[in-house]
């Protein structure tokens, strides 16, 4: 397992979906991670392949302007 620091800049309208995904309820067909317990699939930005990750701790949010949110996360790669 490897730890990875992840930062994203998302629209404030996507904040609720990311929170729901982390907490486990998910929206649509995305499922959820049950508070970081479950692994999820995410396309790696460098190799374009799907990798499996899980949250080490809850995501941290901060304002990045009137309609953007900066998200900081720690993931483990399987």
Residue 59's CB is within 10 A of a number of other CB atoms, namely 19
Return the ∠ at Cα 57 (arms to 11 and 1), rounded to 5°: 110
Residue 67's CB is within 10 A of a number of other CB atoms, namely 9
Whole-model pTM? 0.81
Render pLDDT for 2-14 as a digit per residue (tens, 0 to 9). Answer: 999 999 999 999 9
Render pLDDT for 18-55 as a digit per residue (tens, 0 to 9). Answer: 998 998 865 555 578 988 889 999 998 899 999 999 99
């Amino acid at each position: 397992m490897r730890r990875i620091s992840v930062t994203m800049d998302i629209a404030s309208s996507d904040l609720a979906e990311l929170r729901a995904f982390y907490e486990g309820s998910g929206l649509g067909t995305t499922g959820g991670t049950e508070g970081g317990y479950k692994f999820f699939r995410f396309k790696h930005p460098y190799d374009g392949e799907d990798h499996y990750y899980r949250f080490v701790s809850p995501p941290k949010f901060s304002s990045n302007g009137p309609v953007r949110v900066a998200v900081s996360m720690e993931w483990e790669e399987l």
